[in-house]
Structures are given as C-alpha cells and as structure tokens.
Amino acid sequence: MIRRRQQDIPLRRDGTARLLPWLIAPTVYLAAIAIAAMLALGGALQEWDRGLAGTLTVELPPNGSSDATVNAVVTLLRRTQGVTSAAPLDRAAEGKLLAPYLGTAVAPEELDLPRLIDVRIAAGGALDVAALRAKLTSAAPGAVLDDHQQWLDRLYTLALSVEAAGLAIVAMVSAASVLTVVFTTRAGLAVHRDVIELLHMMGARDGYIARQFQREALQLGFTGGIGGLILAAVTIWGLGHAADAVSIFGEEAALLPDLRLVAWQWGALVLLPVAAGIAAMVTARLTVLRALARLP
C-alpha cells in the first residue's frame, strides 16, 4: 500500500485545474456582495428602529398653522395618556432634516413647509392612536399623525424580500461553485486516467487518490476565494465612499445607501474563502470516490 504524501498525480499540469480559481472567484465575489448588502440593510433597519421607537410625528398644514394652533396641539398632546413629551420643531431643526436632500442653499422659511411636532410615547404605554388622531383633527383640521411603526413594518417586509433574494443569490452561486468543482475534478480524472489506473495496480487505495485531488481543490478554491473577496472588498469600499456624498448643484446630498460594514461583518466575509476552499475539497473528494467506485 502506498503511504507517501507526495503528489503522484501531476494535477498542476492540468489546464482545467488551473481554471478553478478563476471560476471560484466570481462566485465568492457575488456571494460577498449579496451578504454585505443583507448585513448593511439589517444594520440600517436596526438604527432606524432604535431612532424611531417610541416616537410619533404630528404634521400641521402650513396654511393656518399659527403659533396659537401649534400651542393648542402641543397642550393636547401633553395631556394625552401615554405621551411623555411633545415639542414643536423650530425652523433650524427642519433645516437640518432637509439639508441631506436640498443642501443648505435653501432656507426652510422660503418653503411652504408643514409645522412638525415631535411626540414621545411611553414604552408599552396604552396609547390609543385612533382616538388621538380624531382629537387632533378636531383641534387642528388637516393635522396628520404619523405613526412611524407603520412604515417601519413596511421596511421590514421589504428587508425580508431583499434578504430572501440575497439568500437565493448565495444559494445559486454556491451551487455553481459545486458544479464547477465537479466538472474540473471529472476532467482531471479523465486526463489522468492512466496514472490513476497505474496507482490502483500498485495498491493505492481510493482514499489516497482522493486526497491528492482534495488537497489541490482546497488550495485552488481558497486561492480563488481570496481573489473574489479582494474584489468584493474593493467594491464595498468604493460604494461606501460613494455613499458619503454625491454632488448636486454644488451641494452634498446622500443619495446612495451606505454599505460600510463594521468589524464583525468583515470577519464574516473573511470566512467566505475558507468556506469556498472547504466546499471545493469536500466536493472533489466525493466526486473522486464516486468515480473510483465504478472502476473495476
């Protein structure tokens, strides 16, 4: 029985094996981009949830919203059970809200904007939103009570759809990687059939031959995974910096989603080349063992 760990099958001379890293790299790249998008979206939703949890916004129409009307609405809100605070936003605060979209060249006073009242509610408080909306309509016709939880729920539904699409992409590229390894391994078996048969006659077991293919697949799969991850990191870095600001009419406005990741998220992406190498190794071993089992 042959026990040497040397490479008896000249796999490095096989042109099909040399193509494996170039075929693995795009799949790891796509998987990394999909996972990064899912992680970034999940982080953004958590930030929005933390920032808007326990808050409501009352919008008063720009016409007819005098200071007396605003004060009356604020008094009504503060007397409502479940409301901990209510404060109208001044023009400076409204300007900060509009700056990411309109810049600083346009002052809020120049626009016909509704008056906004920031409302804080107690955690787990029994606030009757429908009754409060009716009271506001009576006190200030045209007033709108914005319950942030409604559109947060819609965002969560959208996020679930995006995550499902991302998982589908990861599943498809993973399947493509497995099929690629199967194809290259079978091609290697066909190219080196004479050498494999000779090793069999010399007493080499199937496991010994399979180990030679799996070591090569592990190295090539990991190499391709590293290349794909580097390309993905460059893409994510570029999108993160592009999201900082986009120049419009001389002003900066954030128009692109922020895809910058934190340390643990990068750590998760770093595992992709390892996963690609292990998947290639296991696939190659199973493919070789199944093919050798058919030999006489």
Give me the pLDDT at residue 25, please: 93
3-state secondary structure of 205: coil
How far apart CA 273 and CA 285 sit, in angstroms, is 18
Beta strand 55-60 with 251-253 is: unpaired
Count CA atoms closer than 13 A to 79's CA, side-chain side: 8
Model confidence band, residue 291 (pLDDT cutoffs 50, 70, 90): confident
Does this model's pTM top 0.75? Answer: no
pLDDT tens column, 102-138: 666 666 666 667 788 888 877 766 677 778 888 888 8
C-alpha separations of 70 from 54, 58, 63, 116, 137 in Å: 21, 10, 12, 9, 13
Which residues have C-beta within 8 Å of that of residue 104, sequence separation ≥ 6? 95, 251
What percent of the chain is helix, strand and coil (3-state, nearest 5)?
65, 10, 25
Instruction: Answer positive or negative: Cα dihedral of 262, 263, 267, 272.
Output: positive
Which residues have C-beta within 8 Å of that of residue 4, sequence separation ≥ 6? none
Beta strand 55-60 with 83-88 is: unpaired
Give me the pLDDT at residue 225, please: 93
